[in-house]
């Protein structure tokens, strides 16, 4: 049968060593620039059907009836399914709490919740049929904030909760609560010479990856299903999909199709189960591709938050205490909310030394859109608040804001409010020093030789709103702390299968993992690791699938650390086996086989003194060496539910930004001129990719600072801007130059000393921009994104 | 309905086209050319950018029936298109002859070159200069925006061989990228321009 | 759905007469979005791309006859001297890809208050050439917009061209969006000085149910300029006159709160843009005026 767009092996050679530390190029680069790289939406199968999801038009309602007769009778329609058609007793899924119905049952809890699914022979037929399904709703009052969620008579968004958090929350509409308590805040408060308080609001951000949710489910002859899908974690999907289908996990064979970005938005399931259900029901391959409108409803968003902060300091600028309360809106389903609460609370004090701390973070159940993972994961919201507080405190003390931060900066050995010591380099003060030392961009770059200014260099850009009038420059700084890897006792392992053999007279390594390559460049790094460890130039990367053990999620800045660690570990095991073969074959010819430390380099076995013992081609001969092994970083432990104490995180990562903005103070329009970043990456395995991560993360932080927000109507809980016309992400004309200063201070606990890179720049970018806008305008801005209304008193 | 048009130099015929279909759908689902990407279907992201009779347009906003008898170039045909152009006398505009007043010197641009690294998949094959520059400069991450950006950037360099940074930004302002923060895309276009001017 | 492909203007008019519900499609930048997102399923799509003369323009003595489908890119590149306000407005339209396809005819046909061309057309002075098999007529731009996304066209009429008065003085155009490119107007403002008639015309976008002129502001400014002899003496407009003009422009708005901006912000921003565009155009007028006088003296 004809199928196109199947993932293929990627084979990459190298003229240089091509190992770690070099900026080798992406093995999928040529496919991506020629249009041949197959994304999940590009898959095609002979006789395939198109799936369509009918979603709720209201946020909170009882479903009185669903009538699918007319839809089913539509020519070209092969199946229509509702909750009643689900094949097994398992009808819910979820990352941590299985609270999300595969299709709505009796009730919808948010705008855009899936109610029914259709399969038809053309997407337009499927759309028309879905529109013919009649759903009768009886609307319920909507719960949209903490007050309405925790009112004594509030409707419980989820009735009869039995999850493991219900025992420690004050109200069933609170998903999870995590206090972090250390020292004696009341006593410390007495020592404070100045106290600053603030209430901060963080808007709902969308991941806005460019490749909408999509996939192809192909029913198999053995009753199982083959699913080609864009996701962040194949095995987590599998664990949730198989029980709903009533299939053992080995009959749901998943392969990673091309992924058009992720940023946390593909941690939860979207259309996976729906496509499989329709494929198994119709016996035909089913493809589902969300359009942009649906994508806004098809994945979770970044938690909007309200944050209440109080910091105290002595008159010389030393922080005395912190009291904070962080309220995250988790929306209708739990998704990753509990872990986001853990991050927001445990990192809520920022990268500062504060001995006396009282932090509480909660996530709510509401009827707003479900929120979960997005780059920065709870630490982003907290950073926005504590960095605003640092500026406020500096102003009140009459101190330089960078100096205040440096004075209180944590360093290696500092105890976090969780009681955990930071046991690797924490160059917070140094990162601030570096961004501050970078040269400032020239002033008034819009001036030209001619009379007319270059409006592209001005706030408003091509819209021609100012020729320099009202434009004021501002500068702001921020620094943040993010954890790397899954925390709180999670068994955060990865698996790598590495094979070495002679192909065409040359030793070749093959790396097979289930790691989701979502654009970050993990596959580039895997090839580099294999070259470094195995001394080969040719490396083949197999498509990621569930035929190999779990790699864990492509999130939490963890893949280079954990799956990179797994690849290195498996390479080491392969190397041992290769050396065993070598000793067996050649050991008698040279004593060094038994006595020296042996390496694989340049296709040869060499001693650590550089003496060549054998060619790998001769050692391997016809033999192939293959190892599949799991690898885990050191364990963490859960935070104590009352005090938040515990060895919760495995690694920390730090970035600092300096933002230079120009604000049209009359119109409230902002142009970010430059966003300089300094970040410690431990060891840059691929410097080019590291820069790409830092710059990309920086711009996502810029987006939430000045334009990005999913707007939810507080009266109806309906999303008002589910489109790229009204949910704005930065264009290339909104984006500044982003000079980056990379530090490499090794973390001795991590493979090669590396530190996760992807998320830290998303933390500090936003508060740096806000600080710069405050500097330019003198306004006390407490929410992000900041809109023109907020800068002109017309909100 | 039936639509006849030329794609990447070859005559194509699509049958049973629904009247509301876009050029993008027709390319992707009927002609087996999924290189043009569908990321918004409302002309906001530029991922579906193709050249229609030479002009960069969003193929999601062109009705399939509107391309009857017209010429379309997609990312799949970009390398060949660039090759034809260079074989048939350069950029075809008089700006080729103008002296450099803006842009990036080759020495500067070389800083982003691959530093001696190649790969089996990173060399060989026929790539246009802008395609090669996107790989070399690290301008590709998830790659979903890449096809549209390449078509737009290639057309801009054809018109404007020595663009200033502001010119590049303006020309690419209709192409959203969510991964790179655009810095490496700027590098790639500067690199392609510098290599192009070295060849001239 | 049927796809009608007239090969000539006459065929297009006949098709529209036969199928008055047919939706004309040229650049597709509005219509295709509605079709892609299932917001619209017209019975007939009437493709105007094959009608070549719609993409042509003629520069006459007094006016430019601009074909309905002339892409914004062409206006920016070719008609900046004659239609400076519209050229500036064209440059603010979406992205290069959209500007290569969209034209003023589509803006007028959709008649969205957020259409970028409207304020420039209102300020310059224009007439919409509408035609049907019954005949042709010129609709003054001031009478064209009849409601939210409604216009003065009869069901069987198509827009053939727009006759825009050639600039006889400086023109400016500003648009506020919350992004530096590719953005729908939160509000927009066009202003044209007409030294020939010693009048000022304005246009406001996205700040009322339809595009509107700030007529009270125009009258105030016309009188103030006249009284002070400004057109002759080229003096700097006083801040109080500019402020009063800006306030009256803001007062001409009847905006709403929506997801793109608050009503209060729109009023405020229109005032700021009115003041700035007045200053830019007036400075330009004074500059050219002085230059003209110097040249006259030299002769």
Residues A129 and A246 in one domain: yes
Query: CA gyration radius for chain B?
Result: 17
A366-387 pLDDT, tens digit each: 999 999 999 999 999 999 999 9
Domain hosting C178: range is 172-298
Q: Which of A186-200, A438-452, B135-149 is the least confident region?
A: A438-452
Q: Pick the residue with more confidence: C26 or C289? A: C26
Q: Rounded to 5 degrees, what are φ and ψ at C113? A: -60, -20
Instruction: Using a pLDDT cut of 90, give the percent of chain A over it.
Output: 98
3-state helix, strand, coil in chain C (%, to 5): 40, 25, 35
Taking the Cβ of residue A735 and every Cβ of chain C, the question of whether any pair is shorter than 8 Å is answered with no
Mind spelling out the 3-state secondary structure of A462-525? HHCCCCCCCEEEEEEEEEEEEEECCCCCCCCEEEEEEEEEEECCEEEEEEECCECCCCCCHHHH
A219: pLDDT confidence band, cut at 50, 70 and 90? very high
Q: Is the peptide bond before A785 cis (omega within 30 degrees of 0)?
A: yes
Cβ burial, residue A749 (10 Å; 0-12/13-18/19+): middle
Helix (H/G/I), strand (E/B), else coil: C139: strand
A·B CB contacts under 8 A: 227
Q: Which CATH number characterizes residue C294's domain?
A: 3.30.390.50
Question: How large is the average pLDDT for residues A125-147?
Answer: 97
User: Which pair of tokens denotes residue A68?
Assistant: 């699918």
Single out the residue of B189, B160, B152 nearest to residue B54, CA to CA. B152
Contact between residue A229 and residue A211 where contact means Cβ atoms under 8 Å apart: no
Domain hosting A523: range is 493-632
Taking the Cβ of residue B15 and every Cβ of chain A, the question of whether any pair is shorter than 8 Å is answered with no
Last residue of a domain, one of A576, A603, A632: A632
The rounded distance, in Å, linking the Cα atoms of A567 and A541 is: 11
- The residue whose two tokens read 């570096």 is A434
The CATH class of B78-199 is: mainly alpha
Q: Is the CA virtual torsion C238, C239, C242, C247 positive or negative? A: negative
Q: How many domains does chain A have?
A: 3
Contact between residue B171 and residue B152 where contact means Cβ atoms under 8 Å apart: yes
Taking the Cβ of residue A667 and every Cβ of chain C, the question of whether any pair is shorter than 8 Å is answered with yes
Chains that touch B (3 or more CB pairs under 8 A): A, C
Output the pLDDT for position C294: 52
Instruction: Using a pLDDT cut of 90, give the percent of chain C over it.
Output: 94
Whether residue A14 is contained in a domain is answered as no
Q: Which residues in chain A have Cβ-Cβ distances shorter than 8 Å to C180?
A: 456, 459-463, 671, 731, 733-734
Where does B14-160 have alpha helices with state H? 23-25, 78-87, 106-110, 129-136, 146-159
The secondary structure of A662-682 as a DSSP string is EEETTTTEEEEEEEEEEEE-S
* B73, containing H or E segment: strand B71-73
User: Which pair of tokens denotes residue A7?
Assistant: 């993932």
Question: How large is the average pLDDT for residues B3-16?
Answer: 96
A203-212 pLDDT, tens digit each: 999 999 999 9
Query: Domain map of chain B by residue range?
Result: 3-73, 78-199
Find, in chain C, the residue whose alpha carbon is nearest to that of A458.
C180
Fold annotation for B3-73: Ubiquitin-like (UB roll) (3.10.20)
Q: B97: distance to nearest CA of chain A, Å?
A: 22
Taking the Cβ of residue B82 and every Cβ of chain A, the question of whether any pair is shorter than 8 Å is answered with no
CB contact under 8 A, A291 and C37: yes
3-state helix, strand, coil in chain A (%, to 5): 30, 25, 45
User: Which pair of tokens denotes residue C236?
Assistant: 């700097």
Contact between residue A104 and residue A117 where contact means Cβ atoms under 8 Å apart: no
Q: C286: distance to nearest CA of chain B, Å?
A: 30
Q: Which residues in chain A have Cβ-Cβ distances shorter than 8 Å to B147?
A: 33, 35
Contact between residue A745 and residue A682 where contact means Cβ atoms under 8 Å apart: yes
| Predicted confidence (pLDDT) at residue B160 exceeds the cutoff of 90 | yes
CB contact under 8 A, B117 and A38: no
Output the pLDDT for position C48: 98
* A356, containing H or E segment: strand A356-364
The rounded distance, in Å, linking the Cα atoms of B68 and C5 is: 10
Q: Which residues in chain A have Cβ-Cβ distances shorter than 8 Å to C184?
A: 725-726
The rounded distance, in Å, linking the Cα atoms of C160 and C132 is: 9
Neighbours of A372 (CB within 10 A): 27
The rounded distance, in Å, linking the Cα atoms of A505 and A511 is: 19
Helix (H/G/I), strand (E/B), else coil: C126: strand
The secondary structure of A604-653 as a DSSP string is EEEETT--EEEEHHHHHTT--EEEEEEEEPPP--PPPTTT--S---SEEE
Residues A623 and A660 in one domain: no
Residues A604 and A670 in one domain: no
- Cβ-defined contacts of C57-60 (< 8 Å, 24+): C57/C161, C59/C166, C60/C166
Q: Which residues in chain A have Cβ-Cβ distances shorter than 8 Å to C265?
A: 668, 788-789, 792, 794-795
B95: pLDDT confidence band, cut at 50, 70 and 90? very low
Whether residue A134 is contained in a domain is answered as yes
The rounded distance, in Å, linking the Cα atoms of A593 and C45 is: 79
The rounded distance, in Å, linking the Cα atoms of C113 and C205 is: 6
Question: How large is the average pLDDT for residues A762-779?
Answer: 98
Residues A621 and A527 in one domain: yes
Best of C33, C173, C180, C257 to mutate (most A CBs within 10 Å, chain A): C180
Of the candidates B119, B132, B147, the beta carbon closest to that of A27 is on B119
| Predicted confidence (pLDDT) at residue B121 exceeds the cutoff of 80 | no
Q: C15: distance to nearest CA of chain A, Å?
A: 26
Q: How many domains does chain C have?
A: 1
C213-261 pLDDT, tens digit each: 999 999 999 999 999 999 999 999 999 999 999 999 999 999 999 999 9
A43-86 pLDDT, tens digit each: 999 999 999 999 999 999 999 999 999 999 999 999 999 999 99
Q: A651: distance to nearest CA of chain B, Å?
A: 24
CB contact under 8 A, C264 and A467: no
The rounded distance, in Å, linking the Cα atoms of A37 and A230 is: 13
Sequence-ordered strand ranges (E) for A203-248: 214-219, 225-229
Could you tell me which residues come within 8 angstroms of residue A584 by beta carbon, excluding any fewer than 6 positions away? none
B107: pLDDT confidence band, cut at 50, 70 and 90? low
Q: C98: distance to nearest CA of chain B, Å?
A: 7
Of the candidates B61, B63, B175, the beta carbon closest to that of C45 is on B63
A·C CB contacts under 8 A: 99
The rounded distance, in Å, linking the Cα atoms of A476 and A232 is: 34
| Predicted confidence (pLDDT) at residue C119 exceeds the cutoff of 50 | yes
Output the pLDDT for position C298: 43
Taking the Cβ of residue B177 and every Cβ of chain C, the question of whether any pair is shorter than 8 Å is answered with no
Output the pLDDT for position B87: 87
B125: pLDDT confidence band, cut at 50, 70 and 90? low
3-state helix, strand, coil in chain B (%, to 5): 40, 10, 45
Q: Rounded to 5 degrees, what are φ and ψ at A53? A: -110, 130
C186: pLDDT confidence band, cut at 50, 70 and 90? very high
CB contact under 8 A, C100 and B42: no
Helix (H/G/I), strand (E/B), else coil: A385: helix
Could you tell me which residues come within 8 angstroms of residue C98 by beta carbon, excluding any fewer than 6 positions away? B43, B58, B61, B174, C27, C29, C72
Taking the Cβ of residue C170 and every Cβ of chain B, the question of whether any pair is shorter than 8 Å is answered with no
B42-73 pLDDT, tens digit each: 999 999 999 999 999 999 999 999 999 999 99
Cβ burial, residue A748 (10 Å; 0-12/13-18/19+): exposed
The rounded distance, in Å, linking the Cα atoms of A226 and B81 is: 38
| Per-chain mean pLDDT for chain C | 95
The yes-or-no answer to whether B3-73 and B78-199 have a common fold is no
A257-304 pLDDT, tens digit each: 999 999 999 999 999 999 999 999 999 999 999 999 999 999 999 999
Helix (H/G/I), strand (E/B), else coil: C282: helix
Q: Rounded to 5 degrees, what are φ and ψ at B48? A: -100, 15
Helix (H/G/I), strand (E/B), else coil: B52: strand
Q: Rounded to 5 degrees, what are φ and ψ at A618? A: -75, -35
CB contact under 8 A, A263 and B178: yes
CB contact under 8 A, B35 and A34: yes
Helices A401-408 and A379-397 pack at an angle, to 10 degrees, of 110
Question: How large is the average pLDDT for residues C176-184?
Answer: 93
| Predicted confidence (pLDDT) at residue A106 exceeds the cutoff of 50 | yes
Question: How large is the average pLDDT for residues A731-751?
Answer: 98
Bridge partners, A178 (sequence order) = A361
Q: Which CATH number characterizes residue A534's domain?
A: 3.30.365.10
C291: pLDDT confidence band, cut at 50, 70 and 90? low
| Predicted confidence (pLDDT) at residue B120 exceeds the cutoff of 50 | no
| Predicted confidence (pLDDT) at residue C293 exceeds the cutoff of 50 | no
Contact between residue C289 and residue C206 where contact means Cβ atoms under 8 Å apart: no
Query: CA gyration radius for chain A?
Result: 27
Best of A57, A453, A462, A785 to mutate (most C CBs within 10 Å, chain C): A462
Query: CA gyration radius for chain C?
Result: 20
Residues A65 and A136 in one domain: yes
A226-245 pLDDT, tens digit each: 999 999 999 999 999 999 99
Contact between residue A414 and residue A795 where contact means Cβ atoms under 8 Å apart: no
C184: pLDDT confidence band, cut at 50, 70 and 90? very high
Burial A431-464 (b: 16+ CB within 10 A, else e): bbebbbeeeeeeeebbeeeeeebbbbbbbbbbbb
Output the pLDDT for position B89: 58
Find, in chain C, the residue whose alpha carbon is nearest to that of A127.
C38
Contact between residue B60 and residue B38 where contact means Cβ atoms under 8 Å apart: yes
Bridge partners, A541 (sequence order) = A10, A511
């Amino acid at each position: 049968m004809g199928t196109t767009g199947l993932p293929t092996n990627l084979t990459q050679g190298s003229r240089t060593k091509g190992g770690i530390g070099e900026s080798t190029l992406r093995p999928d680069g040529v496919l991506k620039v020629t249009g041949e790289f197959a994304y999940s939406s590009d898959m095609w199968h002979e006789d395939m059907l198109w799936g369509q999801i009918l979603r709720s038009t209201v946020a909170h309602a009882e479903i009185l009836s669903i009538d699918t007769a007319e839809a089913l009778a539509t020519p070209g329609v092969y199946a229509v399914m509702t909750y009643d058609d689900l094949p097994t007793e398992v009808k819910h899924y979820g990352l941590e709490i299985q609270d999300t119905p595969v299709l709505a049952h009796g009730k919808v809890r948010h705008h855009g919740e899936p109610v029914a699914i259709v399969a038809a022979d053309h997407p337009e037929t499927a759309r028309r049929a879905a529109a013919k399904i009649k759903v009768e709703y009886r609307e319920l009052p909507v719960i949209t904030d903490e007050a309405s969620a925790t009112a004594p008579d509030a409707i419980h968004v989820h009735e009869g909760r039995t999850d493991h958090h219900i025992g420690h929350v004050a109200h069933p509409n609170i998903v999870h609560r995590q206090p972090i308590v250390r020292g004696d805040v009341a006593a410390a408060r007495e020592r404070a010479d100045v106290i600053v308080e603030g209430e901060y609001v963080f808007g709902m951000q969308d991941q806005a990856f460019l490749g909408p949710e999509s996939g192809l489910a192909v029913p198999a002859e053995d009753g199982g299903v083959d699913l080609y899908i864009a996701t962040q974690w194949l095995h987590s999907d599998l664990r949730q999909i198989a029980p709903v289908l009533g299939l053992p996990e080995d009959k749901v064979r998943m392969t990673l199709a091309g992924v058009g970005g992720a940023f946390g938005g593909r941690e939860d399931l979207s259309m996976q189960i729906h496509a499989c259900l329709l494929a198994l029901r119709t016996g035909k391959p089913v493809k589902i591709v969300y359009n942009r409108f649906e994508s806004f409803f098809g994945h979770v968003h970044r938690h909007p938050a309200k944050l209440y902060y109080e910091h105290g300091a002595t008159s010389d600028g030393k922080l005395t205490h912190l009291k904070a309360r962080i309220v995250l809106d988790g929306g209708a389903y739990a998704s990753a909310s509990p872990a986001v609460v853990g991050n927001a609370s445990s990192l809520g004090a920022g990268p500062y030394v504060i001995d006396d701390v009282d932090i509480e973070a909660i996530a709510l159940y509401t009827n707003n859109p479900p929120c979960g993972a997005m780059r920065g994961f709870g630490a982003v919201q907290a950073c926005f608040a504590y960095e605003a507080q640092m500026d406020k405190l500096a102003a009140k003390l009459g101190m330089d804001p960078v100096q205040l931060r440096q004075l209180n900066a944590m360093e290696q050995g500092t105890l976090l409010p969780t009681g955990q010591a930071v046991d690797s380099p924490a160059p917070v003060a140094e990162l601030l020093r570096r961004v501050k030392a970078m040269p400032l961009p020239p002033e008034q770059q819009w001036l030209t030789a001619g009379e007319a200014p270059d409006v592209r260099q001005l706030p408003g850009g091509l819209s021609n709103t100012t020729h320099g009038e009202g434009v004021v420059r501002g500068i702001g700084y921020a620094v943040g702390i993010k954890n790397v890897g899954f925390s709180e006792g999670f068994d955060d392992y990865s698996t790598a299968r590495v094979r070495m053999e002679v192909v065409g007279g040359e030793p070749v390594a093959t790396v097979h993992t289930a790691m989701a390559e979502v654009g970050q460049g993990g596959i580039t790094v895997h090839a580099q690791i294999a070259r470094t460890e195995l001394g080969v130039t040719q490396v083949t990367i197999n498509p990621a699938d569930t035929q190999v053990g779990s790699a864990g999620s492509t999130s939490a800045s963890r893949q280079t650390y954990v799956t990179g660690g797994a690849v290195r570990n498996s390479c080491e095991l392969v190397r041992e086996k290769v050396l065993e073969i070598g000793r067996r074959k050649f050991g008698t010819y040279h004593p060094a086989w038994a006595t020296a430390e042996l390496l694989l380099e340049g296709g040869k076995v060499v001693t650590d003194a550089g003496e060549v013992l054998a060619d790998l081609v001769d050692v391997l001969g016809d033999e192939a060496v293959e190892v599949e092994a799991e690898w885990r970083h050191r364990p963490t432990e859960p935070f104590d539910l009352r005090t938040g104490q515990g060895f919760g995180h495995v690694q920390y990562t730090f970035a600092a930004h300096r933002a230079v903005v120009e604000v049209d103070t009359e119109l409230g329009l902002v142009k970010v001129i430059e966003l300089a970043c300094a970040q410690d990456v431990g060891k840059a395995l691929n410097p080019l990719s590291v820069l790409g991560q830092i710059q990309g993360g920086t711009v996502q932080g810029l987006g939430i600072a000045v334009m990005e927000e999913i707007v939810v109507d507080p009266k109806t809980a309906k999303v008002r801007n589910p489109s790229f016309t009204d949910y704005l992400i930065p264009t290339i004309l909104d984006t500044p130059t982003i000079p980056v200063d990379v530090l490499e201070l090794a973390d001795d606990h991590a493979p090669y000393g590396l530190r996760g890179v992807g998320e830290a720049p998303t933390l500090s970018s936003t508060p740096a921009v806000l600080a710069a806008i405050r500097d330019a305008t003198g306004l006390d801005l407490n929410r992000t994104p900041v809109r023109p209304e907020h800068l002109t008193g017309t909100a | 309905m039936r639509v006849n048009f030329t794609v990447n130099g070859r005559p194509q015929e699509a049958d049973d086209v629904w009247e509301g279909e876009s050029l993008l759908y027709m390319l992707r689902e009927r002609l087996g050319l999924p290189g043009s990407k569908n990321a918004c279907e409302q002309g906001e992201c530029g991922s579906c950018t193709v050249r229609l009779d030479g002009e960069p347009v969003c193929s999601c906003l062109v009705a399939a029936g509107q391309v009857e008898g017209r010429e379309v170039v997609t990312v799949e045909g970009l390398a060949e298109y660039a090759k034809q152009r260079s074989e048939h006398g350069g950029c075809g505009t008089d700006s080729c002859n103008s002296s450099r007043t803006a842009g990036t010197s080759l020495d500067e641009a070389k800083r982003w070159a691959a530093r001696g690294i190649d790969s089996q998949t990173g060399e060989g094959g026929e790539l246009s200069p802008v395609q090669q520059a996107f790989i070399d400069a690290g301008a590709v991450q998830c790659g979903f925006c890449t096809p549209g950006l390449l078509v737009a950037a290639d057309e801009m360099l054809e018109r404007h061989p020595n663009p200033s940074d502001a010119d590049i930004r303006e020309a690419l302002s209709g192409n959203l990228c969510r991964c790179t923060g655009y810095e490496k895309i700027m590098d790639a276009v500067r690199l392609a321009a510098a290599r192009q001017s070295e060849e001239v | 759905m049927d796809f009608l492909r007239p090969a000539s203007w006459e065929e297009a008019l006949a098709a529209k007469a036969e199928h008055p519900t047919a939706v004309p499609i040229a650049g597709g930048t509005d219509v295709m979005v509605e079709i892609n997102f299932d917001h619209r399923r017209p019975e007939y799509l009437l493709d105007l791309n094959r009608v070549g003369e719609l993409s042509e323009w003629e520069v006459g003595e007094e006016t430019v006859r601009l074909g309905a489908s002339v892409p914004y890119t062409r206006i920016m590149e070719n008609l900046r001297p004659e239609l400076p306000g519209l050229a500036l407005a064209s440059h603010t339209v979406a992205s290069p890809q959209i500007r290569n396809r969209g034209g003023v005819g589509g803006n007028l046909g959709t008649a969205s208050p957020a259409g970028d061309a409207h304020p420039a057309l209102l300020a310059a002075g224009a007439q919409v050439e509408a035609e049907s098999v019954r005949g042709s007529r010129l609709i003054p731009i001031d009478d064209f917009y009849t409601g939210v996304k409604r216009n003065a066209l009869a069901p069987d009429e198509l827009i053939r061209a727009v006759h825009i008065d050639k600039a006889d003085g400086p023109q400016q155009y500003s648009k506020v969006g919350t992004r530096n490119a590719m953005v729908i107007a939160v509000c927009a403002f066009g202003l044209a000085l007409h030294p020939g008639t010693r009048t000022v015309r304005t246009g406001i976008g996205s700040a009322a149910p339809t595009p509107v002129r700030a007529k009270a502001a125009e009258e105030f400014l016309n009188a103030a300029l006249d009284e002070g002899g400004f057109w002759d003496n080229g003096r700097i407009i006083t801040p109080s006159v500019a402020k009063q003009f800006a306030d009256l422009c803001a007062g001409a708005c009847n905006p709403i709160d929506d997801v793109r901006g608050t009503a209060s912000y729109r009023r405020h921003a229109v005032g700021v843009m009115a003041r700035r565009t007045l200053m830019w155009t007036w400075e330009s007028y004074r500059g050219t005026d002085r230059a003209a006088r110097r040249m006259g003296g030299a002769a």
